[in-house]
């Protein structure tokens, strides 16, 4: 207890220096933790957009279809497979899709587009595109050939609701087909690239254009447990070896690599900040030891063991750290709670062009706070070792003579 009291009083002998170190720990910790929360919030929104809006949890395809979206590569018995999957207790919903890469034309422009044929009632259960409508309806219409396009497409083609567009494609026999559609709905997601290339029609109409009587190009699966996507996909691949079965992480380009990279981001960025703080603490404690050479020498001369001198200096470092850490975490928690509720608007930074939300809601799991605390403690102990060892090398006789 005496060592604790002495160490506590020692850190306040030079208040300005100690407060500078404590402030550096607070601000460094806040910057690292909040930065990590920002990135995790960005990744969380990206994952939700990929799963809920674009992909769903698992997709089935004919081998090679995803390479070029070749309409001839379809799943011949897709309806039977979809019915079997729907009976799985771990699957919540299944939706078949027919997909065609072709040209969309209006009176003002024509461009490449991916047309997705869906069953609207089934699609509502595996994606949330129907919640992204900004105008019109999600196939709740009496129009003969309805199409739902994105706001990006509507702006590029200068078309509005009830406008007529023409889609040109090849059927399964390689014959060029044309079909006119009437715009009944306009949607908008956070991913401009997805919006620019994707439009939706009724699956039966696209099957007619393809002359595809039985089969589909894609089966989308929505699971009851998000975390089971990889395990279930692996099991389905074993059962349907003639098909390609992929979980959402392997369907979105670079998503798996991105998630793995961001998993270590917290430790990487906080580690860099703590490494810089380590030298700040080391320098402060070394100066404190050098200023107290005569005092430390006198303590040794009257019988204080070197072990206790070592512990006293370690206590001083840990005290400053443990003052800074709670304040730093409090600042981080307040910042994360506020911005997590209100969001950070980055609409001017063109994040939508990279598939991210324009409004980021920082988020950090409770476990991360514990892990960062352990990292800080290790850093503070490591920073105190050299100054403490420097003190142990002092010779009492020489030290007490030092002015």
| pLDDT bucket at 355, cuts 50 / 70 / 90 | low
- What is the rounded CA–CA span in Å between residue 207 and residue 159? 25
- Residue 181, pLDDT score: 95
Better-scored residue on pLDDT, 128 or 14: 128
The pLDDT mean for the chain works out to 85
- Residue 377, pLDDT score: 81
**Which helix (H) or strand (E) covers residue 377, if one does?**
helix 366-392
Among 81-95, 101-115, 173-187, 335-349, the least confident range: 335-349
Residue 210, both tokens: 């393809």
- Residue 179, pLDDT score: 92
Better-scored residue on pLDDT, 339 or 1: 339
- What is the rounded CA–CA span in Å between residue 379 and residue 23? 16
pTM: 0.73
82 burial (CB, 10 Å; 0-12 / 13-18 / 19+) is: buried
Which residues, including other chains, have CB under 8 Å from residue 243's CB and lie 6 or more apart? 60, 61, 62, 63, 75, 237
pLDDT digits (tens, 9 = 90+) for 253-303: 677 777 777 767 767 777 787 788 788 788 877 877 777 777 777 777 777
pLDDT digits (tens, 9 = 90+) for 208-227: 999 888 889 999 999 999 88
Beta strands 176-187 and 146-150 are parallel
* Nearest residue to 139 via CA among 82, 101, 186, 188: 186
- Residue 247, pLDDT score: 93
Q: What angle do CA 399, 393, 7 make, to 5 degrees?
A: 75
* Nearest residue to 146 via CA among 206, 201, 106, 193: 201
CA 48 vs CA 125, 228, 272, 292, 345: distances in Å: 15, 15, 29, 57, 18
* Nearest residue to 112 via CA among 198, 203, 177: 198
| pLDDT bucket at 348, cuts 50 / 70 / 90 | low
- Mean pLDDT of all residues in 321-339: 89
* Nearest residue to 220 via CA among 116, 316, 347: 116
Radius of gyration of the chain (CA): 31
- What is the rounded CA–CA span in Å between residue 342 and residue 356? 17
DSSP state of 216: B
Per DSSP, the three-state class of 212 is coil
- Residue 397, pLDDT score: 62
Beta bridge partners of 360: 344
Helix residue spans in 253-365 (DSSP H):
255-263, 265-291, 293-301, 306-342
62 burial (CB, 10 Å; 0-12 / 13-18 / 19+) is: buried
- Residue 62, pLDDT score: 94
172 burial (CB, 10 Å; 0-12 / 13-18 / 19+) is: middle
Residue 381, both tokens: 């102990």
Which residues, including other chains, have CB under 8 Å from residue 279's CB and lie 6 or more apart? 383
Percent of the chain at pLDDT > 90 equals: 38
């Amino acid at each position: 207890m005496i060592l604790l009291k002495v160490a506590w009083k020692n850190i306040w002998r030079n208040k300005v220096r100690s407060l500078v170190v404590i402030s550096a720990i607070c601000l460094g910790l806040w910057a690292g933790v909040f930065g990590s929360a920002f990135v995790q919030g960005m990744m969380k929104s990206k994952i939700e957009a990929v799963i809920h809006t674009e992909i769903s949890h698992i997709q089935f395809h004919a081998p090679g279809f995803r390479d070029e979206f070749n309409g001839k590569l379809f799943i011949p018995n897709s309806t039977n497979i979809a019915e079997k999957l729907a009976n799985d207790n771990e699957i919540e919903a299944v939706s078949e899709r027919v997909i065609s890469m072709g040209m969309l034309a209006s009176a003002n422009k024509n461009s490449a587009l991916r047309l997705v044929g869906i069953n609207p009632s089934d699609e509502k259960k595996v994606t949330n595109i129907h919640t992204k409508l900004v105008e019109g309806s999600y196939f709740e219409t009496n129009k003969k050939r309805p199409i739902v396009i994105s706001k990006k497409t509507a702006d590029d083609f200068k078309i509005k609701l009830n406008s007529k567009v023409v889609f040109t494609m090849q059927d399964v026999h390689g014959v060029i087909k044309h079909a006119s559609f009437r715009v009944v709905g306009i949607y908008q997601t956070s991913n401009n690239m997805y919006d620019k290339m994707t439009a939706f029609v009724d699956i039966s109409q696209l099957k007619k254009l393809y002359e595809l009587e039985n089969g589909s190009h894609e089966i989308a699966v929505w699971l009851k447990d998000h975390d089971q996507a990889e395990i279930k996909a692996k099991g389905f691949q074993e059962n349907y070896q003639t098909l390609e079965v992929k979980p959402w992480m392997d369907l979105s380009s670079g998503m798996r690599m991105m998630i793995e990279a961001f998993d270590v981001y917290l430790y990487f960025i906080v580690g860099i900040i703590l490494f810089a703080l380590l030298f700040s603490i080391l320098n402060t404690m070394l100066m404190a030891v050098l200023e107290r050479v005569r005092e430390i020498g006198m303590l040794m001369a009257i019988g204080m063991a070197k072990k206790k001198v070592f512990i006293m200096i370690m206590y001083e470092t840990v005290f400053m750290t443990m003052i800074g850490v709670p304040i730093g975490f409090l600042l981080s928690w307040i910042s994360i709670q506020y911005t997590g509720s209100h969001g950070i608007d980055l609409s001017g930074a063109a994040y939508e062009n990279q598939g991210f939300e324009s409004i980021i809601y920082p988020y950090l799991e409770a476990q991360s706070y514990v892990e960062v605390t352990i990292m800080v403690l290790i850093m503070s102990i490591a920073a105190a070792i050299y100054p403490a060892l420097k003190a142990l090398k002092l010779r009492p006789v020489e030290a007490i003579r030092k002015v």
